[in-house]
Amino acid sequence: MSDNVSPLRLPAGSAEIAALIGELAGLIVAALNLEVPAADIGPDEPLYGAGLGLDSIDILEIALVVSKQYGVQLRADSEDNERIFASLRQLAEYVNAHRTK
């Protein structure tokens, strides 16, 4: 047997991020009443503007839902918002690192 890690094995934490991406996609679809299935939202697809096509009001709604669900405090005036909401994966990684629930 080889000591090499199988290419199919996910790095530590990847399974949790993948599950969180799915949860967040479902929350976004429900909160915004989107007609796109949650599974069709690509994890690296931009959320804002091009991509999923959300606007600043949609992002505020997502921030509220994420705050209630995961205890993550997101501020409208944060300089990090562009990075946090760049994609579903970025949002999931931020939530995973800062959640209290």
Do the beta carbons of residue 26 and residue 34 sit within 8 Å?
Answer: no
Hey, where are the domains in the chain? 14-98
What one-character DSSP code corresponds to residue 8?
Answer: T
Q: What is the pLDDT of residue 48?
A: 85
Structure confidence at residue 1 as a pLDDT band (50, 70, 90) = very low
User: What global pTM score does this model have?
Assistant: 0.83
Do the beta carbons of residue 11 and residue 82 sit within 8 Å?
Answer: no
What CATH topology corresponds to 14-98? 1.10.1200
Q: What is the pLDDT of residue 101?
A: 87
The yes-or-no verdict on residue 12 having pLDDT over 60 is no
| 46/5 Cα distance (integer angstroms) | 31
Structure tokens, 89: 């994966």
